[in-house]
Structure 1
Amino acid sequence: MRTSIIWFKTDLRLYDNETLYRAQEQSDEIIPVYCLDDAHFIKTEFGFQKTGTYRAKFLLACLLDLDKRLRNIGSGLIVVKGKPEEEIPKIAKAYNAQRVYAKKEVAYEEKKAAEKVEKALWEIKCSLEVYSTSTLYHAQDLPFPINEIPDIFTNFRKQVESDSFIRPVFPSPAHLDSPPIPDLVLPLLGDLGLEDAKVDKRQAMDFKGGESEAVLRMQQYFFERKAISSYKQTRNGMIGDLYSTKFSPYLSAGCLSPRGIYHQLKIYEEQYGANDSTYWLVFELMWRDYFRFMMKKYHNRFFQQNGIKSKDHHIASHNQELLETWINGKTGDDFVDANMLELKLSGYMSNRGRQNVASYLVHDLNLDWRYGAAYFEQQLVDYDVCSNWGNWAYQAGVGNDPRGKRKFNTQKQAEEYDSEGKYRKLWLKKR
């Protein structure tokens, strides 16, 4: 009996999940497992929770949905809490599993955690098999090795578009052979050291976790509302659920894969036509790929204040009082404050808002950009380690921006993107 564990992480889906596909292909029995890593629920060196309330609630909903989808095909999800290097081998021993299948990691802490699990598994004669499941373009299909990827996105994009290809998707399994899986038991937010937060009715969208909700959102945005056909014109909006795809939380948790989105986009284009807007979604997915490949190239340098730049880069000092004015929307800059209040009270912010508040923290307040990145890590429902730290380094002038420091004139931005002041009125008014 070939018994294997599939260790779900940020790939909480059945469709286009190579890890799941290979596990089923090479095993007689599958035990699906998710580990709530204790390290994800601590305070970071910057004083913030590594996982805040909004993302934790979203994650728990994703796990509940994944369990339901697995039980529909004869399996189920075991959720454990603790250190993965202890919990995963413990389950492997209990079920006499010979292999553990998991997604491949590229970020520093995630790689270290996987290495600890692999070492612990070897001690019980169990192997760890990993697969890349998070990108549109597979790393093996790039026209250059990882250490030679261009440090300028445009150069990367042009070469990849001309010399690479997007692989087909993996189908969802129709059935999984599993031993009896116990009923799902999920912790409460309090068990994770978090407090619940009230839902703010001003939020751009009520993000409900899970692959089922992700598929519904994609169906609505593409085929019901046909909003993708005007995406390039609306993507800098700031109010409501249709100015952008709102796929990012589902991508970050792995409820959707970039290739899954691309596949549906191609179906949409066949029915309703391709244009600049449909291309722009692929363009944005390539940016997401790029930050992941950059993290793979530069390892932990994206978490240092100098980023991937030289050591003589200006080092900003920390000022807790100024940082808290930024966090609490009390800087006196109404555009920045409105965006920061949206983030604080909903766990989300538009792309336009993110660029402006990051620029303000770095260039107007002259603070260490890593505190901003760490606060986003705590707050964002769609936090993705590569995109978050890559974008913050970019904005701080220590990442992949060829122009160096890029300072936003926030009042000019407000006039352009919130000309009637509707967004600012929405978030600055008293509840």
Structure 2
Amino acid sequence: MSERTILVWFRNDLRVHDNEILLEATRKADKVLPVFCFDPFYFKQTETGGLKTGGFRTRFLIESVADLRNNLRALGAELIIRTGDPVEIIPQLAAEYQVNEVYHHREVAFEETAISEQVEAALWKTRLNLKHFIGHTLYHKEDLPFPIKDIPDSFAVFKKKVERDSNVRAVAATPEQISTPEITDAGELPTLQDLGLEAPYDDPRATMQFTGGETIALQYLNQYLTNKEPLNSKAARNPQIVAEVSSKLSPWLALGCISPRQVYWEVVEHERSNSHNNPLITELLWRDYFRFMFKKHGRKFFNSEGFKTEAPETGTNQDKLFKQWQTGNTGIPYVDAAMHELNATGYINNYSRQIVAGYLVRDLKVDWTRGAIYFEEKLIDYSPASNWGNWAFVAGVGNDPRDNRNFITRTAEELETKSAFIDTWLPVNETTAA
């Protein structure tokens, strides 16, 4: 009897811990073929003139894929890396290595699901099955106390019902060893230049340097839980304090370098207490909520009216006002400093995101989708559901905006800032400038 081979198509699940498809493949097949594709679709220029994926996030992705390859090698496996359209690459590799089935994690946003459907159709022509797994959420879809179509449009109601009636599943075991077929050409990691991007400049004013990969993610989570103020302390429940001491795990969560379930159980083990009131767990629940809402409402999140009846009011001079916001030249210190920081580092905390988004929508009356597209390019931790769901939420055309009333209590004009990014000046030394 010939050996059974399963191709594991990695996308936003760049880890070996708590990775159900990897574990299932090792149990169901003699050989596992791990594959990652750098799809040119994500590195193109958009219709608005920006990039779909900016330099900071692309560098973080390359680092994460490199770390995944190293971690797979430690288990005796190898990661095949290709640059190109997965609709062509996955079937080609499946034929070359006589693959019996392909595994991948299901996505929720329309662009990502469209790619999956195209790969599935291409595989089906060769009589191969693309098996879908659910692995990006804290709570499994099948464990929710309601079907997707009946998910409450209020996060507060969702949180209460899920925490009362559902349980977080245990993490999946890590394979002890993985056998791959004999691979003749594993492929090289592309550089930023290969993908058509310039290397980003690391601004010394940044309070944290994000490095991609599961190894760093696990180290950072341990350090965060060991050294920080208790997550359920009174101070940590203050929204503005939470903004300053936020976990900053989101870049690793966005690419699946670490799973929400693993974070949850690490928090529970660390604190040995009921974790429902912890800000970090609430963060994970918001991520779940937006993903499930994308399943419920689909492509509506990308429309100006969201899943409401009409779009927010917009004013004149859209281009001029958006440019002022984009470049941090609004004259509002908190907004300008936050936008300077975003442009210089690829990251701002969630509190700042709420403030700058609200200012663009409510004060400048600019179409909120322009802000969402800009965040898609700039944010190192971009994920479609969290980004577009949050922007629709702030714009009042997504989830119940009353859920935000206890978080954002002051307008942008009322906020002071001591940020080092209050000015656009960059402290560039002679070596960097050269």
For the 8 Å contact 2:39–2:83, the answer to whether it is kept is yes
1:422 matched residue in structure 2: 418
2:206 to 203, 208, 220: 203
For the 8 Å contact 1:397–1:405, the answer to whether it is kept is no
In the superposition, relative to structure 1, how do residues 234 and 208 fare at CA in structure 2: closer, same or farther (>3 Å)? farther
The range that moved more, 341-350 or 228-237, is 228-237
1:232 to 218, 229, 236: 236
What is the alpha-carbon distance in structure 1 between the residues aligned to residue 275 and residue 41 of structure 2? Answer: 44
What is the alpha-carbon distance in structure 2 between the residues aligned to residue 317 and residue 232 of structure 1? Answer: 41
What is the alpha-carbon distance in structure 2 between the residues aligned to residue 387 and residue 289 of structure 1? Answer: 9
Displacement of 1:38 in angstroms is 1.6
The range that moved more, 56-65 or 120-129, is 120-129
2:16 matched residue in structure 1: 14
Displacement of 1:247 in angstroms is 0.6
* TM-score for both structures, normalised by structure 1: 0.92
1:285 matched residue in structure 2: 284
What is the alpha-carbon distance in structure 1 between the residues aligned to residue 315 and residue 372 of structure 2? Answer: 14
For the 8 Å contact 1:228–1:245, the answer to whether it is kept is no
Displacement of 1:197 in angstroms is 1.4
Code of the residue aligned with 1:93 in structure 2: it is A
Displacement of 1:426 in angstroms is 4.3
Aligned CA RMSD, in angstroms, stands at: 2.1
Superposition map of 1:102-141 within 5 A: 102-141=104-143
For the 8 Å contact 1:98–1:125, the answer to whether it is kept is no
Displacement of 1:225 in angstroms is 4.1
1:192 to 195, 216, 235: 195
SS at match of 1:207: coil
Code of the residue aligned with 2:128 in structure 1: it is C
Displacement of 1:67 in angstroms is 0.3
Code of the residue aligned with 2:268 in structure 1: it is K
Confirm whether residue 38 of structure 1 aligns to residue 34 of structure 2.
no
Give CA deviations for 1:146-184 in whole Å, capped at 9, x if unaligned.
011111111111111111111111011110011234455
Aligned residues: 419
Displacement of 1:45 in angstroms is 3.1
1:221 matched residue in structure 2: 224
In the superposition, relative to structure 1, how do residues 321 and 429 fare at CA in structure 2: closer, same or farther (>3 Å)? closer
Give CA deviations for 1:353-408 in whole Å, capped at 9, x if unaligned.
10111011111111111110011000000001100000000011111024499896
SS at match of 1:191: coil
SS at match of 2:245: coil
Give CA deviations for 1:289-320 in whole Å, capped at 9, x if unaligned.
00000000001000000001014754666722
Which ranges in structure 1 are unaligned for 5 or more consecutive residues? 416-420
SS at match of 2:261: helix
For the 8 Å contact 2:236–2:242, the answer to whether it is kept is no
Displacement of 1:224 in angstroms is 4.0
1:243 matched residue in structure 2: 245
For the 8 Å contact 1:396–1:405, the answer to whether it is kept is no
In the superposition, relative to structure 1, how do residues 69 and 405 fare at CA in structure 2: closer, same or farther (>3 Å)? closer
SS at match of 2:35: strand
* TM-score for both structures, normalised by structure 2: 0.91
What is the alpha-carbon distance in structure 1 between the residues aligned to residue 275 and residue 26 of structure 2? Answer: 39
For the 8 Å contact 1:221–1:227, the answer to whether it is kept is no
2:172 to 170, 173, 195: 170
Code of the residue aligned with 1:320 in structure 2: it is D
In the superposition, relative to structure 1, how do residues 313 and 381 fare at CA in structure 2: closer, same or farther (>3 Å)? closer
Displacement of 1:202 in angstroms is 1.2
Confirm whether residue 365 of structure 1 aligns to residue 360 of structure 2.
no
For the 8 Å contact 2:9–2:34, the answer to whether it is kept is yes
What is the alpha-carbon distance in structure 2 between the residues aligned to residue 155 and residue 300 of structure 1? Answer: 23
1:418 matched residue in structure 2: none
Code of the residue aligned with 2:418 in structure 1: it is K
